[in-house]
Structure 1
Amino acid sequence: MKLKRPYIRIVFCRLKLAILLLVMLLFIKEGYAQKVNLEPIPLRVASQVFSPEEYYIARVIDERKDLNPTAFVVVDLMRGNNLETVNLKGGTIHALEQYILEAYPGNRDLLPVVIRVKDCKIIEKLKDSQTGAVEGDIHLDFTFAIDRDEQLVDLLDFQGGISYQRGFRQVNLLEAFLRRSVNLSMKYFNDWIEKDAANNQKLAKTVRLEISDYKGSNDKDTVFYSPNRPLTWEDFKGRPRFNNYAASIFASIGYASNSKVENGEIVVDLVLKTYMLKSSSWVRIGNDSYGLNHEQRHFDIAKIITERLKNTLQALSLAPHNYERKVSFHYLEAFREMNQMQEEYDRETSNGTNGSAQQRWNDKIDSALEELGVD
């Protein structure tokens, strides 16, 4: 029995509709709603960006508090904001270091710079599920520091990155966006260091001490040491103490410093001071020139120590990051040496009452002053 033609047409139309629906479903599944496969993000060096002229990157270190994966990426349009995490290929810090060292090769005779990575994140969101548009932000938080004998001296903070848009399937663009962000951080630091290199103390390469003696005038309470200005009893203004001594002097040493940077070198103007304080020095009524000589020799001892300190400081090899600490250390050592020598002087001369010992110390002090060029 033959089928009627209208029935054949209906079956054929239904078949065409079914095929069309199947094709549409396949299209949606394969071409639009399929979850994107996500691989670790590489950082590729397309070419050398530039070679720093004032520094080189020594290493990149990890100081992130958040050790979660670097990127939170849209990979599924049906669940657009259920982000998938992924790291940089080889690990975040390793990938950043390898990229920076290759893209920014430097002369290892220059200043060693360390990049302290505080944060590195890629965060995305689905902007439009119909068009497949994805928005993202890259945030970098770097601190650039100089490595001074394994001590890091911070120079500059960089907190920035870029915002971007991409198509749903264009996950390969993440590498280019991140590379651009890293390049921005390097340019920011390089521009800063080229501008400040000659005048920034942290960037200085060497230190030069210019040492001198204080040349100012005495004031109401202070007498500064001068071979041409010996002490008089009028310099002893303090109230006598309740002890058996006939007189006492407060003699000491100190220094003041100012620094500036000239063509990448720290120039330190260091002024050494040997002084006595009138209000802390005293004498009982009726003392004589012999007693005054004993007190003058205390002042001379302070000057001897100042000159020895000067010679010590002039022989030092100083680094920009710790020269102040070294100068302070040697000053304190000199101060201790002065106190020890003063005590030895008083002990051996019995505070000046032993005349022969006093003469030996007079000769010893005169010889030391002459040897040190104090005249």
Structure 2
Amino acid sequence: MKGIFVACFLISHVVSAQKIYWEEGRKLNWSNFKSRVNNQRGANVVAYTNCGWSYSYVKSSNPKAPVKIKIETIFNEDKSWKDDKRINDYVLLHEQKHFDVAEVFARKLRKEVSEKIKTGADFDKYFKSVYSRILKEYQDFQRAYDGETKNGMVEDKQSEYNRVIAEELENYKSFRTS
């Protein structure tokens, strides 16, 4: 029995080590980018951040009972890549902002969920559409961010996005996880 517990503990530790949950003040570092495979196209791609959200919920079979929904922002270490020969602190900041953008939109999702989804019936009726809409906004923002900054190479645009992302984190601070 002891051997099974140790094996399960080691497996769960390895699995959890592949994801980083967004936390106020915690910054990514280059050792978090563990993928050896570059799936991105373009000569100016120096790194790739794979991030997004995970959610879980607890719902009763009673449609009038309250529902509990947990939304977390995650960075996937095993799917995030870097070109060791071209990385620097400036590129890392650009990649950190991708992770921060994921948190901004997770907060927007938490806000809308908290306002619209109180019961199991609300969850069944609204969650998929709310999630899909916020996800599309998130993906559009990430594409615009990389496009307008040319993956961080246009410094004035990068500075502008840094400001916007910081403001949005502040605007939605009441919807951060504790």
| TM-score range for the pair, normalised by the shorter chain length | 0.7 to 0.9
Runs of 4+ deviating beyond 3 Å: 317-322
- More helix per residue: 2
Distance (whole Å) between structure 2 residues aligned to residue 299 and residue 320 of structure 1: 30
Distance (whole Å) between structure 1 residues aligned to residue 66 and residue 143 of structure 2: 36
**What percent of counterpart residues are identical?**
23
CA RMSD of aligned residues (A): 2.3
Aligned twin of 1:219: 16
Does residue 301 in structure 1 map to residue 101 in structure 2? Answer: yes
Question: TM-score, normalised to structure 1's length?
Answer: 0.39
Equivalent pair of 1:256/1:272 in contact (CA under 8 Å):
yes
SS at match of 1:219: helix
Equivalent pair of 1:230/1:296 in contact (CA under 8 Å):
yes
Equivalent pair of 1:349/1:358 in contact (CA under 8 Å):
yes
Instruction: Name the structure, 1 or 2, with higher relative contact order (CA <8 Å, separation 6+).
Output: 2
Question: TM-score, normalised to structure 2's length?
Answer: 0.80
- More strand per residue: 1
**Deviations 1:65-108 (Å, cap 9, x if unpaired)?**
xxxxxxxxxxxxxxxxxxxxxxxxxxxxxxxxxxxxxxxxxxxx
User: Where do 1:219-238 residues align within 5 Å?
Assistant: 219-238=16-35
Does residue 335 in structure 1 map to residue 135 in structure 2? Answer: yes
Instruction: Report which of the two structures shows the higher radius of gyration computed on alpha carbons.
Output: 1
Aligned residues: 157
Equivalent pair of 1:273/1:306 in contact (CA under 8 Å):
yes
SS at match of 1:340: helix
**Deviations 1:277-304 (Å, cap 9, x if unpaired)?**
1111000114111000000000011101
Aligned twin of 2:148: 348
User: Where do 1:1-375 residues align within 5 Å?
Assistant: 219-241=16-38, 243=41, 244=43, 245-260=45-60, 265-286=64-85, 287-316=87-116, 320-321=120-121, 323-373=123-173
Closer, same or farther in 2 for the Cα pair 1:266/1:237, shift >3 Å? same
Distance (whole Å) between structure 2 residues aligned to residue 361 and residue 265 of structure 1: 42
